[in-house]
């Protein structure tokens, strides 16, 4: 059976690392390249983190490309409160690869080239702000027509934010990019929203069993997740938000959907858009379930999934 070809765009924090390791361990998957974007940390840290993950998995042969360092309008964000300043829990690592291990080609140019080399064959998975994708689409309006499928972790479906009142981090970090992608991509688009991931969190008992595996990968994961675990537990004590009640590896849901066709068990198929001008709602994803926008381009917004499949894929990732 031919392998699934993936091109992965990340802002590599802890859950991006989990998603990457999930894909790297899937025997039916071949990752053609990893493009890096601003988001959870600086672009330099994001690139270093991807290389560090690949080193841990003995997969440094996969090319890594540095991309957009800030949003289309120049704004910069970070999620150091959750991921640590460096994006991977601020765990020192003196032997991780340096930036000289990056490819010289810019991420957006690499994205265009790879998709053109494999037209209609590559699934694109985006787990950070959509800046690189928007730039690629603006450079080549036919770009998305050559992508087999697009899987996004980002946005929301019930106006519940985690960064602003109504904005999810990835979309709120570059609302214009999200708008361009959702309005411009012609390939089948699948979205794992913030609320979807929260509703499908895994038990903390599974999380501890997952990390208790006696492998190099599990040791690495234990180290980089300590900061985010502590942050989550402190939030649970203070406000008891839904996302704190279990282990939620947001980016892994989009990756699991890309890797396993049967992972998602139900979707809402509708037109989606991004609010750009609202005082309180800028960056919010809007679902047009009534068809008021009268547009043909629709997205598959995930609503239910097989959590046992996710557990299996996560366990496999650390073996």
Count CB-CB contacts under 10 A for residue 80.
17
Three-state SS at 83: helix
Report whether 218 contacts 212 (CB < 8 A).
yes
Reference 186, options 121, 243, 137; nearest CA is: 137
Residue with tokens 């690499």, as numbered in its chain: 110
Q: How far apart are CA 319 and CA 315, in angstroms?
A: 7
Reading the block at residue 240, the tokens are: 């008891």
Report whether 75 contacts 126 (CB < 8 A).
no
Count CB-CB contacts under 10 A for residue 214.
8
Reference 250, options 318, 188, 177, 168; nearest CA is: 168
User: CB neighbours of 71 closer than 8 A, spacing ≥ 6?
Assistant: 38, 77, 129, 131, 173, 174, 176, 177
Query: Is 186 a catalytic site residue?
Result: no
Catalytic residue among 11, 15, 260, 273: 11
Q: How far apart are CA 172 and CA 84, in angstroms?
A: 19
Reading the block at residue 17, the tokens are: 């690392």
Integer-rounded Cα radius of gyration of the chain: 18
Q: State the catalytic residues.
A: 11
């Amino acid at each position: 059976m031919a392998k699934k070809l993936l091109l992965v765009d990340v802002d590599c924090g802890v859950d991006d690392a989990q998603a990457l390791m999930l894909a790297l361990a899937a025997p039916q998957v071949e990752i053609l390249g990893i493009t890096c974007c601003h988001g959870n940390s600086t672009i330099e840290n994001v690139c270093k983190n991807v290389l560090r993950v690949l080193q841990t998995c003995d997969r440094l042969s996969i090319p890594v490309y540095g991309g957009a360092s800030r949003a289309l309008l120049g704004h910069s964000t970070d999620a150091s409160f959750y991921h640590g300043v460096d994006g991977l829990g601020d765990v020192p690592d003196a032997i991780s690869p340096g930036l000289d291990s990056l490819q010289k080609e810019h991420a957006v140019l690499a994205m265009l080239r790879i998709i053109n080399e494999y037209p209609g064959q590559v699934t694109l998975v985006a787990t950070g702000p959509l800046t690189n994708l928007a730039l690629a689409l603006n450079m080549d309006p036919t770009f998305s027509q050559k992508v087999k499928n697009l899987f996004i972790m980002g946005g929301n479906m019930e106006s519940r934010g985690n960064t602003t009142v109504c904005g999810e981090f990835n979309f709120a970090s570059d609302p214009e990019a999200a708008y361009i992608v959702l309005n411009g991509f012609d390939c089948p688009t699948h979205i794992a929203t913030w609320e979807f991931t929260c509703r499908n969190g895994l038990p903390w008992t599974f999380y501890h069993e997952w990390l208790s595996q006696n492998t190099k990968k599990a040791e690495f994961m234990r180290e980089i997740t300590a900061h985010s675990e502590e942050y989550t537990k402190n939030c649970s004590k203070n406000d008891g938000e839904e996302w704190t009640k279990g282990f939620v590896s947001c980016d892994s849901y989009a990756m699991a959907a890309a890797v396993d066709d049967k992972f998602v068990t139900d979707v809402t198929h509708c037109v989606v858009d991004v609010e750009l001008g609202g005082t309180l709602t800028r960056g919010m994803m809007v679902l047009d379930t009534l068809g008021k926008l009268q547009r043909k381009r629709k997205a598959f917004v995930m609503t239910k999934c097989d959590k046992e499949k996710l557990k299996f894929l996560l366990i496999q990732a650390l073996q």
